[in-house]
A and B are shown apart, each in its own frame.
Chain A
Amino acid sequence: MNAPRLKPGVRLHYDRVRDRQVLLAPERVVALDETAYAILSRVDGVTPLSAIAEGLAEAYEADAGEIAADAAALISDLAAKGYVSP
C-alpha cells in the first residue's frame, strides 16, 4: 500500500489567531477538524495509510474500521483537490 504524502508547497500550520489547525497550499487555506488534523499530522510519505489508521484507532481507542474509512475518504478528497499524493 502506498504511503500518502503532502504535495510540495502544502504544509500544516497552527493558526494561532483563530486557534485552529490549517493546511496551507498555493492560494488556499483549508481549515482542519480534529480528525483531519490527527490523520494529516501522521502523513509523512513513509507510513502507509493503513498503519496511520491503526495508530489512530489505538491512540484514541476508536473503532479501527471507522477510522480507516475516514482516513481513506479524507486522503482521496485531498488528493482530488491536489493537496496530497495518495
Chain B
Amino acid sequence: MTDLAPVGLLAELTHRCPLACPYCSNPLELTRAADEMDAADWARVFHEAAALGVLQLHLSGGEPASRRDLEEIVAAARDAGLYSNLITSGIGLTEARLAALVSAGLDHVQLSVQDTDAEGSDRIGNYRGFARKMDAARWTRTLGLPLTLNAPVHRANVQHVRAFIDMALAMDAGRIEIAHVQYYGWALTNRAALLPTRAQLDDTIAVVEAARAELRGRLVIDFVLPDYYAEAPKPCMGGWGREIIVIAPDGSAMPCHAARSIPGMTFETVRARPLADIWRESAAFNAYRGTAWMKAPCQGCPQAETDWGGCRCQALALAGDAAAADPVCSLSPRHGAVAALAAAEAEAAPPPYRYRRFS
C-alpha cells in the first residue's frame, strides 16, 4: 500500500500514427486499433484518476487525432476536472476540429515538429507533414489555445536548436520543449543513428542558456538532456510509481511508457480493476517504488530519494538488470562503459533509420 498520490496521467489513446519517427517512445510491439479502449472507458478512467489526485492529463499516442472520438475524450477530461494537454504531430487536425476541441475544454496543445525545414522534418518523420504542422500551429493560436512547440533533438537536427527557438517565437508559442531523444524503444534500436557527440550536446546547452536569458518572461524553455553524457541519473518519471501513471491504448496501467521492456513484468488493465487499486496494490507499481528494492551503490546513497536510482529501463538496457543503478550514474560500475559506448557510437557514421512500424 502507498499513500502517494499521482499528479500526472499519460493516456496513450492509440498507437496509430501517420509518422514513423525513429525515436518514437512507443514500444516495439504496437497495440492494434481493435484492442484500443473506447471513449467511455477513458471517461471512467479520467474520473478515477482525478479521485486519486491526478491534475494533469497528457493525451498522447501514437497520434491522438487518429481517433475519431477525440472530442468526446477531451470533453470527458474536462468533466473530470483534469488539465488536458494534447500531444500531437498536428496530422489529423483541421481548424474545425481544433475549434471543436476548444469547445470540449482542451487546455493546451503540444505540437511536435521534427526539424526546422520541410525537407528535414518530413525525412525524420518519414511523412510529408511539415506544411500541415505549420497550419496546426497557426490554428491553435488563432483559436486562443496556448501552444508548446515540442522539438525532439538528435544527431540529424542537433545544430538547429536556435532555429527551433525562433520557430517557437514565430508560432507565438508560450513554451518550447527541446528534448534530446531518450534511448528506449525505437530510439534504443536507432541509437547509433541518433546519439549526438558530446561537443554537439555542449553546443545545445550553450544555445539554450543564452536563449533563456534573452527570452525570460516571453518563452518558457524546457530542456531535456541526453543522459548518456550525464554524471548523475535523472529521477525517471519522478520516481517509479510516485507521480505518474501511463495507460496504454489497451488499458494496461504502467509506471512508465517503456516498462513493457522489463522481462517478467505484468501490467493490470483498467478494464478489469479500478485504477486506485492498481496504483496502490499492483505488483508492477510496487516493484521499484521507494528504496527497499535498491542494490549498491543506490542503497544508502544520499541521492536515493532524489534520483530514485535513475531509470529502471535504462538499467536493464545498459546493465542487464532493472534493479541495478542506472549506468549513467558515475557511481555505477558500468558508467565508464556507457560513456565509451556513447563516444564511439556518436563519432561513427550513422546507419540508416529503422522507422517505427507495426510489426
Q: Which residues of A contact B (CB under 8 A)?
A: 7-11, 13, 15, 17-18, 22, 24, 26-27, 29, 79-82
Contact = CB atoms under 8 A, between A and B. Distances in A.
20 contacts: A9-B107, A9-B174, A10-B146, A11-B107, A13-B55, A15-B55, A18-B53, A22-B55, A24-B56, A24-B83, A26-B107, A26-B175, A26-B220, A27-B148, A27-B177, A27-B222, A29-B7, A82-B174, A82-B219, A82-B220
A81 B222 CA distance: 11
A29 to B, nearest CB: 5
Contacts of B174: 7-9, 26, 82
B144 interface: yes
Nearest to A26: B108
B220 A8 contact: no
Given A7-B174, A80-B216, 8 more contacts: A8-B145, A8-B146, A10-B146, A17-B53, A18-B5, A26-B108, A27-B175, A29-B55
B85 interface: yes
Contacts of B222: 27
Contact of B52 (A7, A11, A17, A27): A17
B55 A7 contact: no
A79 B219 CA distance: 11
B146 A9 contact: yes
A83 to B, nearest CB: 9
Q: How large is the interface on B (under 10, 10 to 19, 20 to 34, 35 or more residues)?
A: 20 to 34
Contacts of A8: 144-146, 174
Contacts of A26: 85, 107-108, 110, 146, 148, 174-175, 220
B109 to A, nearest CB: 9
Nearest to B56: A29
B146 A7 contact: yes
B83 A79 contact: no
B220 A9 contact: no
Interface of B: 5, 7, 51-53, 55-56, 81, 83, 85, 107-108, 110, 144-146, 148, 174-175, 177, 216-220, 222
Contacts of A79: 217
A46 B85 CA distance: 27
Contacts of A29: 7, 55-56
B290 to A, nearest CB: 20
A82 B146 CA distance: 11
A84 to B, nearest CB: 10
A33 B247 CA distance: 32
Nearest to B52: A17
A41 to B, nearest CB: 17
A60 to B, nearest CB: 28
A55 to B, nearest CB: 26
A79 B216 CA distance: 9
Contacts of A11: 83, 107
Contacts of B177: 27
B236 to A, nearest CB: 16
Given A17-B52, A24-B55, A26-B175, A9 B110 contact: no
Contacts of A15: 53, 55
Contacts of A17: 5, 51-53
A80 B56 contact: no
A7 B174 CA distance: 9
Contacts of B218: 82
Nearest to B106: A9
Contacts of A10: 146
Contacts of A18: 5, 53
Contacts of B108: 9, 26
Nearest to A14: B81
